[in-house]
Every structure is written in structure tokens, then in C-alpha cells.
Structure 1
Amino acid sequence: MTKTPVSIVCALVLGCTLGAGHSVAQPSNYAPFVSDVPLVQQPMLNPEFWLQRQSDSKPLMSQSQIQAFNRSLINNNPYIIDPLAMPDTLSAKALRSYISNTSSTPSSPRFYVDGKQLDRADFARYHANTNIDAVTDSNPVRFGLIVERTSLRTFPTADRVLNSEMDADLDRFQETGAFPAEPVAVLHESADGQWYLVAAYNYTAWVKRSAVAVGDKNRIRTFTQADDFIVVTGDKVETTYVPNEPRVSEVQLDMGVRLPLAPKEQVKHLTHGQNSFASYIVTLPVRNDDGTLSFAQGLIPRSADVHLGYLPLTAQHLIAQGFKFLGERYGWGHDYNARDCTGFVGEIYKAFGVWMPRNSSWQGKTDYGYNWRFDKDSTEAQKREAIAQMQVGDLIYIPGHVMMYIGSYQGQPYVIHDVKGLGYIKQNGEFYDGELNGVSVTPLLPLHLNSTTSYLERTYAIKRIAQGAEQ
């Protein structure tokens, strides 16, 4: 997701089927399959179709290499930080810069969902709630943990605001999401007292105060660095229902959330009135009535899609993780309890312990990993040569969008991505304008942004998540 999205469309020049003699064998019990997506047949929507084409199960990076990879990002990438390494105070200049960079008035018109255009008074009200006038010469920084899935916003408001295209799916005040157990630096408080300006590991924006528990920085770091932990490997799992402690009951945990296991000496036969032998007992951050941080035990069924420690970073696991989101609705900036293109790849890689910058341009235009870069002078042949060298999990970037490579079939490279629009050139030369609006499997080379410009033409980078330098 970037602030200025492109219309994500695709085009097929030669037709919309695999052609006679080239269809994929389908079991007789398959339900009828109706699709307007070119070159995709039903078996391709099963991860096994792609997994059976993988033979190398060797990890792409070890956990020690991933840790070094993340440290390098913190030290060298401008879009990744350790929020717990923030200073204990900010100068007036620094805090004002954080506020103004987060909450700037857009240069183009904005509209409410009912069609009313925002005027100067509306933006003045939003700016006033940023509480910038309360900034002093020295401003204390507090630290906290996110206690529930929540949104990070441009301004301290939940108002939905659209651009002139009036696409209700694209709330322009929605920046990204934050998830339980994520550490944040609390930089400032809104004038109405309902919002915090927080710096997370890959974004700074406004979050509802009720979603953050503020506590001791050292205690938070100990929590985030626990040796024994589980990682959520499903698209979403929930903690077990607890009737008398709502703070740990049915808490949604998205892919990549990491939670410490309760210390062995604290494990008992009964937890919240339930025998815990069939569950993982985890430590959850909870918010007290006064906003301070506490920790409480929660239960996650052993049947849930979680993993002890991070998943090994292999091609097979990358495919499996990506397909767990297949069919999820597109959610701009983690809206709709979902995610967008960069949220999609970010959550996949978090399951392996890999950190990623938030926006597609921040990922595609910075130099971590192995990178193939293209400019206006790059030829189609050069890009095709790079595409031919892709490995499962490689990321392909066009302006405003990112896709993950999952393998090739009959010479066509395929990607899985969280994508909004669908379009292609039909055999009669007409442009088909449709919608995907969710996590989808598509071929790469036939995709077009419009009737004249292909994805291949606009590809500016291919990135492999690995330790290394520029290709």
C-alpha cells in the first residue's frame, strides 16, 4: 500500500484459457469453476499445485541470518526502527516534525463518504486535535504494547475520508494496522485524550489510546525477547473464550504475531477454569483501567495454526503461508480486518521473523536483500532475463503494488498478491475492466495496468529476501 495507489489491472493479449490440450487435470468431484481471471484454472488455487513443483526444502536464511538481516534493516533502512530504542525525550522540533509529517493536509480534495467535501474548517479541527500546541521544549516518550488489532491513522479520528474517485474501499486517513504484542513508542497524545501518536517498527501514526497499554520499557523488551514463544502461522487465530477475563478472551491474532509461552513454573492444570493440557498457555499484554500495562495468561488451542518459534524460511512454507490468505478481501492499509498488498507480504514474512518496511515503494526502492533494478532504459529482454531467475518468495514491484512469485507453469510465471482491480485485453481487442479485490493467484507476464501498459513495462524492481547486496 502506498499513499497514491495505481489501478491494479491486468491484461491478456492472446486469450483467456490455457488452450486446447493444456488444461490442468481436475478431480471429478471439483465444484463448477467460473472465473474471469486469465490463465488460471481451479487446481492452481490449491497450494499443493505449486508445492509439488518444489524439491528444495533448504532454508533460504537461518534464524541467526534473519536476526542479522533485521539488525541491518534497523541500522541502515530509513523505514525500520526499534521503537524501544527511541530516546526518553523529544525536543520540540523533533516532536513537531513527527506530528506534521504524519498529519499533513493533502494537496488534492478529500470527501466524506456522504459526498461532502472537506473544507478548511474540517482540516483545522483535525489539526487542532493533533495537539501540536501542547508541544514543549522537552517532551517525554513513553512505551507500550498493542493489546488488540487496531488501525494507525493519518489524523486522530476514525472519520472515513475518500479522494475524488469516491472509492469507499480506500479510506485516505487509514495508514496501516497494528497487532497484539507489538511494541510502540508513545510520542504524543491528542487534544481529546482519545489517541496516541505512536512509532511502531515500520510506521508512525495515530492509534486509539484504548489499544495501547503503557508500561516500563525494560519490562516490554523482556516480553518481546522471550526465548520460548509461539508465532501465529494461520491467517487469523483467536485465544480461547474466557467468561470472566475479557481482556484475554477471543483476542484476534493475525499471522506473524509472536507471544511468549508462560514460564513453566507458572503453568497449572487449570487456567481460567479450563484444563490447559490441550492448549498453549501464552502471556498476553493487557490494559488496566488507568491505561497501564499488565500481563495475563491466555489459552490458544493446540489445534490452532501456530508454530513453536518462527517457521523455517523455505520455499514450501512461503507458498503455504501465502495461500492461507487466498480469497481474503482487499483491505487498504489493513482496513476491513484484512490487509493490502504490502500488508500481505509483510505478514507472510513476519511468520519467519523477517521485518519489512510498510509501503511498497519503501520496500522496492531500498536496498535490503538481493535486488534487480530497472529504469526507463531497461529493455523487456533484461526484465525477462531477471524474471527467469526468480525463486519462490521473490517480490516484484510496480508503482504502488507488490506481488510474490510462487512458481511457473508452462513457461508462465505466476504470482500471489492482494490486488484490487482486474482487467485484460480480450481476444477481440477490447479491454475487460473487472475486479479482484482480494488475495488472488494470477499470471505475471500478461498483466497490464491499462490497454497499452503492461506490468512488465512498469516493473522497477525484483527483490529476494536474503542477506546480500545489490545485484
Structure 2
Amino acid sequence: MSRLESPASTPPRVTTRSSGARTRAIALAVMGATASLGACATPSTLAVSPSGVPAFSEDMLSPGFWIRRAPSPDAVLLDADQVAAKRLRAFEPDGGLMDLKRLPATLTRAQVAGWVGEAQRTPIPATIDEQGRPVTEAMLDELRQNAAAGHIPEASAARYGLSVRRTHLRSLPSDRRFFASEDLRDYESLQAGILFPGEPVVIAHQSADQQWLFVVTTQGPAWVKRGDIAEGTADAVFSYVAKAPGRVVTGDQVRTVFTPEAPEVSELELDMGVALPLANVAPGEPVNGASSYASWPVLLPVRGQDGTLAFMSALLRRTADSAPGYLPLTRANILRQAFKFLGERYGWGHQFNARDCSGLTSEVYRAMGLVLPPNSGMQGKSAALNHRLFTAQDSHAERVRALEHAQVGDLVVVPGHVLMIIGHLDGEPYVIQDVPYAVFKDPATQQLRKTKLNQVSVTPLLPLYADDTTLYVDAMTSLVHVTQP
């Protein structure tokens, strides 16, 4: 299973890891005459903003603007049982995620070697290194040698662990950074995703230098730093994962309380949707040198000096953006959660302490208990979600009608990119998306105009271009109705 695909940006094109979909330029075109901005303006009267975004006014940057326009914004779209059922379906065949409990207790050489090879496939060519020097085949071979594929035993017992901090997944066991070109440094070749604190892994292999573990995650196989994984029994790992969420992170990112007495759990970064069980702490009982009365005591995995799994209490301030469980799945909550990322820098594979397009959509829904596959291609076809698939046989008019009826929270998937519907103005859909560029036809000159956004942005959807000649709507492969049972 792949975790990443080609980014939605501008040429040069790169090959995708699993779907074969080519990278497309995200191009926004605006029609109609320009006019003054205002709360009642419509897409046909809005000018290109001074920041270079078409059909846009400043009030669109508030979630309240869209909540007021949403039908029944506080109606619960899926109840807790329906959400739980969808969460389970994501781990079924074609759901997009791997159920680690179903992996065999004994791993074969062929199986592990296959995973190692799968992990090495990256959509970003390794052309230059961090200093801008050409990447040679000898440099890559050195990293492949560290993967030690030739030393995988004929059979080995599956080992289990939990991630103890926010840590990157890598295609090869290395921190070295490679890029496709000098002007594409936002996309790093070996970056393969992220693990958040408390995520389970199956440990299948280790690097030659013993600094990296090769693991299978719910997202698929990858390399991770050994020091970021605590190894324990299958029962200890999966029992922790199964605990009821005591606090769910609902902010874009919060941190545990600083504590020098327990550096393992001090100021840990917790991204949106991370669910932590409550620690068994008596009222007022100190935790790591501080009283717990003004904070939530939570339980986190830690790694002992010998690499083994243990658990430790930590404090999460009551003022931190968190909830006592998953948020109700409502249109208002979808919008509030999505807008908490507004303006955040684009982070390919969760680089830059941020997230990319599919990271944005998955974390918004994870705060409400739904788990989405980690890349846009799988989000567009996961058997756990309801979707309308589009092929070349679907006419432009049919596609436009589908978008006219799209609901808040629906996902629009094109090759290499996913966007979230936030509402309609004058019948035209608007989206929130984590996107590098907006390229659109300037209404004044009728020439293509490129605006670097490189952040979570609010933009119109119609009419969009996937390249110089193809409308974005005609490139759409799936319209995902996440909130339908």
C-alpha cells in the first residue's frame, strides 16, 4: 500500500507510486466582470484579490461565513455507531488501511522483502541532494545497502511496537534529503508519511547500521527511526490502541505540558484527531512534578533504555484544544475543524510540522472518529466511503451537476490531489485545500496567472483547469460523500 502520491503542483511531472496518475497543475479560472468585494458578492462579481486568488473576498476566510450558509449545520450526519462501523470498514479489503492484527505471527523472507521493495517506490525523483549536488546511483545504492534486504531471515517472528512521538516514515533508512529539482524543494523524495504518538506498528526488519526499523503501519510499510518506536507484546500494543479515547485533540496541534521530570512525555506534539486514554490519577495528584487539577492526565507510551514499551502519565492543559471524545459529525464541526488549518504551510508527507492535501482531509475527519486512507487516490476509491466515480464516459454537464449537489465535507479527487467542499455561492462550489499553487486565467488579460499559495487555502472550484486545456471538473475522478452511511 502506498502512502503518498504525486503532488498537485506544476511541471515537471513525476511518476506516482501506485496509481500511475500523473501530476496535474491546479489551475483556477475565474469568469465575469470585476467588482468591489463584499459579504453579498457572488463568484461572477468578485475580482482577483490583491493576494492573487480569484473570485475571493476576505470574509470567506471565516468558518462562520460558511456555517451560516450550510443547511442544518448542527444536524448529526452520522451517529457514534455509524462512525464506528465506517472506521472498521476502513481496515477491510479495499478500505485503504491495514489491519495489523491480521498479519501473520511469522513473517517470511519473501513477504518482508516485498514490503521493503514496495517502500522504496517514491513518486519524487531523487535528482539533487540538499546541497544541490546531483544524486548518483552510487549514493542511492549506499542507502539501499543499509536496507539490508539480503539479510532478511527465511522466517522471523512478528514484533510489535508503538510510536512514542511524531515521527517521519521514510522510503529508505536515511535522513538524507533528495529533491526532483532546485525549485521543487517542498517535495522530498524519501518522505513517506508520518506516525503520531501511540500508533501501532509491526516490526519486520532492521537496517544494517541498526539505527532504523522497518515497520508495517496501518498505512503500509516504511522505515522509521529506532528510537521513536517502543517494542512490546502484541497484547500490550493493541490493548493500548483499543482503549477508549479520554481526550481527542481538536486543535491543529497541541503539546503536552513541559516537564523536566519526565522528558519522554514533555511537550509532545499531538496533531488533530490523536486520541489518548486518560491516566488513572487521583484528583489533585501530582503528575511529573505538577498538580493535575488544571490539566487532563493522559496515558502515553514511552521507550525504555532497552527499547521496551512502558506507559507514563502526562498532562494536557484544560485550555488546550481537545474534547472528551470524538466530536459529533456535523457540517459545522467539519468547517470549524478544517479552518483551524487555514494558512498552514503545505507539508508534503507531513513535513515542516504540517500536512499535505490528504493529511488535511484525513485529520479533519479523524477528530470526529472517522479514519481515511493516507493518500488522495485511496480516499477517492476506498470501499469504506461512498463515492461517485467518474470516467471519460461522463460528460462535462453530468460532472457539473454532481458538483452543484455536493455537500459540505464532500471530497473532490483528481489525480494527485484532494479538496474539500465548504459550500456554494451563487450555485458555484468553493473548497478548502492544501495546495502549492493557484494557476488561473486572469479575467483582465485572459492569460494564465500563477499564484504561489503553498498553504491551506480557500478557493473557488469552478471553473478549474487540470492543465492548460482540461477543465478541473473534467479531470475529477471521484466525488466522495464521506458523511453518508
Task: Report the CA distance shift for 1:381/1:138 in structure 2 as closer, same or farther (over 3 A).
Answer: same
Aligned to 1:274, the other structure's residue is in SS state coil
* Alignment of 1:117 onto 2:131: no
Aligned to 2:400, the other structure's residue is in SS state helix
* Structure-1 separation of matches of 2:135 and 2:269: 34
Quote the residue 2:39 is aligned against.
24
Quote the residue 1:339 is aligned against.
355
Task: Report the CA distance shift for 1:379/1:434 in structure 2 as closer, same or farther (over 3 A).
Answer: same
Quote the residue 1:6 is aligned against.
8
* Alignment of 1:354 onto 2:370: yes
Residue 451 of structure 1 deviates from its aligned partner by 3.4
2:254/2:270 contact within 8 Å kept:
yes
1:10-54 deviation line (CA, Å, top 9, x unaligned): 23242585x35x72269xxxxxx8421011111110111011123
Task: Report the CA distance shift for 1:197/1:108 in structure 2 as closer, same or farther (over 3 A).
Answer: same
* Structure-1 separation of matches of 2:5 and 2:227: 26
Residue 442 of structure 1 deviates from its aligned partner by 0.4
Q: Aligned ranges for residues 31-50 of structure 1 at < 5 Å?
A: 34-50=50-66
Quote the residue 1:215 is aligned against.
232
* Alignment of 1:286 onto 2:288: no
Task: Report the CA distance shift for 1:298/1:91 in structure 2 as closer, same or farther (over 3 A).
Answer: same
Q: Aligned ranges for residues 56-75 of structure 1 at < 5 Å?
A: 56=72, 57-75=74-92
Out of 195, 199, 204, the position equivalent to 1:182 is 199
Task: Report the CA distance shift for 1:88/1:338 in structure 2 as closer, same or farther (over 3 A).
Answer: same
Residue 252 of structure 1 deviates from its aligned partner by 0.8
Quote the residue 2:342 is aligned against.
326
Quote the residue 2:16 is aligned against.
none
Out of 96, 114, 134, the position equivalent to 1:79 is 96
Aligned to 1:270, the other structure's residue is in SS state coil
> What is the one-letter code of the residue matched to 1:4?
S
Aligned to 2:264, the other structure's residue is in SS state helix
TM-score, normalization by structure 1: 0.93
Quote the residue 2:44 is aligned against.
none
Quote the residue 1:30 is aligned against.
none
Q: Aligned ranges for residues 4-403 of structure 1 at < 5 Å?
A: 4-7=6-9, 8-14=25-31, 17=34, 19=35, 23-24=38-39, 34-56=50-72, 57-77=74-94, 79-104=96-121, 110-164=127-181, 166-263=183-280, 268-403=284-419
* Structure-1 separation of matches of 2:139 and 2:409: 44
1:105/1:123 contact within 8 Å kept:
no
Residue 260 of structure 1 deviates from its aligned partner by 0.3
1:9/1:421 contact within 8 Å kept:
yes
Task: Report the CA distance shift for 1:147/1:168 in structure 2 as closer, same or farther (over 3 A).
Answer: same
* Structure-2 separation of matches of 1:205 and 1:333: 13
* Structure-2 separation of matches of 1:366 and 1:235: 25
TM-score, normalization by structure 2: 0.90
Residue 268 of structure 1 deviates from its aligned partner by 4.6
* Structure-1 separation of matches of 2:173 and 2:289: 39
* Structure-2 separation of matches of 1:131 and 1:459: 41
1:232/1:257 contact within 8 Å kept:
yes
Residue 106 of structure 1 deviates from its aligned partner by 7.6
* Structure-2 separation of matches of 1:141 and 1:449: 44
- Give the fraction of aligned pairs with identical amino acids, expressed as a percent: 37
* Structure-2 separation of matches of 1:84 and 1:291: 22
1:63-91 deviation line (CA, Å, top 9, x unaligned): 21122112222122263112243222201
* Structure-2 separation of matches of 1:217 and 1:2: 28
Instruction: Name the stretch that deviates more: 76-85 or 406-415.
Output: 76-85
1:385-411 deviation line (CA, Å, top 9, x unaligned): 111221111000011000000111122
CA RMSD of aligned residues (A): 2.0
Residue 227 of structure 1 deviates from its aligned partner by 2.6
> What is the one-letter code of the residue matched to 2:233?
D
Task: Report the CA distance shift for 1:107/1:325 in structure 2 as closer, same or farther (over 3 A).
Answer: closer
Task: Report the CA distance shift for 1:174/1:108 in structure 2 as closer, same or farther (over 3 A).
Answer: closer
> What is the one-letter code of the residue matched to 1:340?
D
* Structure-2 separation of matches of 1:225 and 1:309: 14
Instruction: Name the stretch that deviates more: 78-87 or 58-67.
Output: 78-87
2:118/2:221 contact within 8 Å kept:
no
Structure 1 unaligned regions, length at least 5: 27-32
* Structure-1 separation of matches of 2:75 and 2:388: 23
